[in-house]
Amino acid sequence: MIAYSPKASSMETFSKMFSDLENCSSDERESKVCEFVKWMNEMDEKEVEYLVSEETFFKVNNMFEEKKLSQDNIIHLLKYMGINKSLITNFGTRFEYTPLPKRLEKIIVDEEKKKEGKNEKLLIDVCECSLLLINEPSTKLLSICVPCLLKAALKKDESADTQKEVEIALLTLGNLKNWDAIEKEMYLKEISEIIKYHQEHRNLTRLAYQSAWGFLISRFNNERSLEGVIVKELNFTREALRELEELSKIVDWKRNERNNEVFIVRGWFNSIWNIFIENNILFGNDNSELITCAMRLFKISEKNYQKVVVECIALFRLMMRNSENIRDLMACGAIDMMAEKMSQSTMNYEILIECLIFFHV
């Protein structure tokens, strides 16, 4: 067995692995796909951006047409391309410019139409790889996939396999942003149940829980009637702050490499950021706890995870729109902290630019 490593030469490794997939025997194909998936799970952002390209998707489509890989293997491969893309980069794909989305949508529609013998696992897998890779899913696709994935995410079994299934279903849903096509009747009861159950039983992984909230918060700007559910019923403020506090303690901030827990931190900031785009409605008038937490994350992540620092500054910048927040930022020392950082000659260039923008808001 060849030991593939994305750290050697991504282009060479990538070409070698695809060649192996195309030319291996039918008995070897499943293990080769598993090797490829394992390799993808070690990739960094630039490598994933290289992987999820139009050229790659055409190669996968050709293997599908020429029957060099089975439908199950193709779906497995595409699903983990989507998972890795969603976990470490906001880079868009050109998936829609290939024949694959139509192939996948046909599988989804045909499976959904079945009265008997419906393959639920296949349906979930194809929904996941479609929504993780398609930039603008159709209303038809969403109407099938969202209820399907919510049903998968409602599983209460705490076995490792089920937890992983639930995590991927929620990660996929969290990948959907402000699409008007998703009416609250399609998701509100289920996503509320998933969040409430976790608050009582702590059954979800950290990634799954953040993704569940990310999905719900992304609906907020298009559906303002969610305010009561988010603020009072599910208590987003308490949950977001608790999760960020805990993550600040358990993440290995000295590790300068891919770290999925850092993705979760950024996900919570993104949800908080989405709230502050409009107003202070969820956090009220006293944001000192949130500011203090963001300052702590700023300090511990600035050496190895500059994107977390950028998230913190972006939040501070949005908070500056409100005079009461300005007082909180000053009282907590956030403004002094950034001014002091700007005077350091060793400061990261990207962070310096963000600080300059902050002081010119």
More confident residue, 287 or 108: 108
- Whether 141 and 108 have beta carbons less than 8 Å apart is answered as yes
Alpha-carbon Rg for the chain in angstroms: 22
Burial 104-133 (b: 16+ CB within 10 A, else e): bbebbeebbeeeeeeeeeebbbbbbbbbbb
In which domain, by residue range, is 349 found?
A: 248-361
Q: How far apart are CA 17 and CA 221, in angstroms?
A: 43
Single residue among 135, 167, 193 that ends a domain in this structure = 135
Residue 295 lies in a domain: yes
pLDDT at 280: 55
Q: Is 133 helix (H, G, I), strand (E, B) or coil?
A: helix
Residue 128 and residue 2 share a domain: yes
Does residue 342 belong to any structural domain of this protein?
yes
Q: 82 lies in a domain?
A: yes
Mean pLDDT computed over every residue of the chain: 87
Does 255 share its domain with 127? Answer: no
- Least confident window among 48-52, 167-171, 292-296: 48-52
| Residue with more model confidence, 211 or 314 | 211
| Percentage helix, strand, coil for the chain under 3-state DSSP, each rounded to 5 | 70, 0, 30
How far apart are the two ends of the chain, measured CA to CA in Å? 56
Would you call 253 helix, strand, or coil by DSSP? Answer: coil
Task: Report yes or no on 89 lying in a domain.
Answer: yes
Q: In this model, does residue 7 exceed pLDDT 60? A: no
- Structural domain ending residue among the three candidates 107, 135, 163: 135
3: Cβ contacts below 8 Å, ≥ 6 apart: none
Cα distances from 252 to residues 239, 262, 300, 305, in angstroms, run: 22, 9, 10, 11
In a domain, 179, yes or no: no
Structure tokens that stand for 118 in this block? 């419906």
User: Is 140 part of a structural domain of the chain?
Assistant: no
On whether residue 30 sits in a domain, the answer given is: yes
Supply the DSSP symbol for 99: S
* Structure confidence at residue 195 as a pLDDT band (50, 70, 90): very high
Distance CA 155, CA 120 (A): 13
Q: Is the pLDDT of residue 241 over 90?
A: yes
Point out the least confidently predicted range of 5-19, 90-104, 175-189, 234-248.
5-19
Q: How many residues make up the chain in this entry?
A: 361
Nearest to 265 by CA among 304, 289, 236, 294: 294
- Domains in the chain: how many in total? 2
**In this structure, what are the phi and psi dihedrals at residue 66, rounded to the nearest 5 degrees?**
-85, 5
Confidence label for 277 from pLDDT (cuts 50, 70 and 90): low
The answer, yes or no, to whether residue 130 has pLDDT greater than 50, is yes
* Amino acid code (one letter) for 358: F
List, for residues 323-350, the tens digit of each pLDDT value. Answer: 778 888 999 999 999 898 888 877 788 8
pLDDT of residue 361: 53
Per-residue pLDDT band for 273 (boundaries 50, 70, 90) equals confident
Of 135, 169, 186, which marks where a domain is finished?
Answer: 135
Burial class of residue 139, CB neighbours in 10 A (0-12, 13-18, 19+): exposed
pLDDT of residue 150: 98
User: Residue 85 corresponds to which tokens in the numbers above?
Assistant: 């893309």
Look up residue 185 and give its amino acid: E
Mind listing the pLDDT tens digit for each residue in 151-163?
Answer: 999 999 889 999 9
Taking 50 as the threshold, does the pLDDT of residue 2 lie above it? no
pLDDT at 282: 52
Let me know if residue 239 belongs to a domain.
no
